[in-house]
Structure 1
Amino acid sequence: MPPAKKPQDHRKPADEDRFTFDHDGKTYSLPRFGSWSAGLVRRVRKLPDVDATFTILEEVADPETLAAIDAMDLDEFNRLQQDWAEHGGVTLGESGSSST
């Protein structure tokens, strides 16, 4: 009988996989867009886009990074979302909404 399969080694993403951004002269980072757990995706799957976005950010951002994001105006925040997604290889579609 072949040996039982072992779970994959789920290490933290390498630093080069992190997305970095500047705000008010400081640099912050977030994990690669889409690198969160299936459990987090399950928790946000039925939420409206804005709620899902902030639930994800609250889960993956450290308190200092979250405070910097909270201080952004909506144009800065929308650019952050777009850049973060593009860094992760995701292209966000254009919509008439400026919320997410």
Structure 2
Amino acid sequence: MAMLKNIATLYQKMKSRKRKNWDEVSTTVIFTITVICWIEAGYYGYAMGSIGPEYIKLLNQAGSIPSVPFLVISVIFGFIGISLFIWGFMAKCMTSLLEKRFFSV
């Protein structure tokens, strides 16, 4: 019970804290987030680019009604694609923040 009370207290503290705008966050933190986002997006892009075409060839050879393993792999590829989109979008946004900070006139 004490653990639930601690979690509730932490939740209330996090909910009531002042949220920072991206303009208030240090450049080092934004740069670190940007690098992590680009690495993740690159990794997922490489995985989709190297495995995806071979999977499409196998799926086309399987016939008109794919089996359950093909459907499961398709769902996994869908989640990887969504993750790739999210990491890539975050990387683009963070890069634009850095460009605005360093190269704005």
If the TM-score is normalised by the length of the shorter chain, which range does it land in?
under 0.3
TM-score, length-normalised on structure 1?
Answer: 0.26
Q: What is the TM-score when the length of structure 2 is the normalising length?
A: 0.25
> Is the radius of gyration larger for structure 1 or structure 2?
2
The answer to which structure, 1 or 2, has the higher relative contact order (CA under 8 A, 6+ apart) is 2
Could you say which structure has the higher helix fraction?
2
Normalized per residue, the structure richer in strand is 1
